[in-house]
Amino acid sequence: TAPVVPSTPAPAPVAAAPVAGQGQVQIQFTADCWTQVTDGGGKVLFSGLKRKGDNVSVSGKPPFAVRLGYARGAQVNYNGQAVDVAPFTSGETARLKLGQ
């Protein structure tokens, strides 16, 4: 019988390099904020209340629809680039599309 060769584990994917045709949304929270992120196919990737100090990172097929219940409490990055949510903010909430 052939000797058993241990399989080497595959290297972990690098978070900063999204797969072709994929995008990555990262949100850091500086205040409590209800958040929802939906991918280009309409699938909800994240929905819920995040607390100050939390982070969310999701990836999928763009464009992403991002809804923030307290826009000033969230710092949004798309594929590693900071996103200014101010132009998409109405009152306390923001709705924006990323990667379209």
Is the pLDDT reported for residue 13 higher than 80?
A: no
What pLDDT does residue 100 have? 86
What pLDDT does residue 95 have? 98
Task: Tell me the pLDDT band of 88, cut-offs 50, 70 and 90.
Answer: very high
Backbone angles phi, psi at 86, to 5 degrees: -55, -45
15/92: higher pLDDT = 92
Average pLDDT score, the chain: 88
Cα gap 13→16, rounded to integer Å: 9
For the question of whether the overall pTM of this predicted structure is more than 0.75, the answer is yes
DSSP code string of 32-86: -EEEEEE-TTS-EEEEEEE-TT-EEEEEESSPEEEEESSGGGEEEEETTEEE--G
Domain range annotation of the chain: 23-98
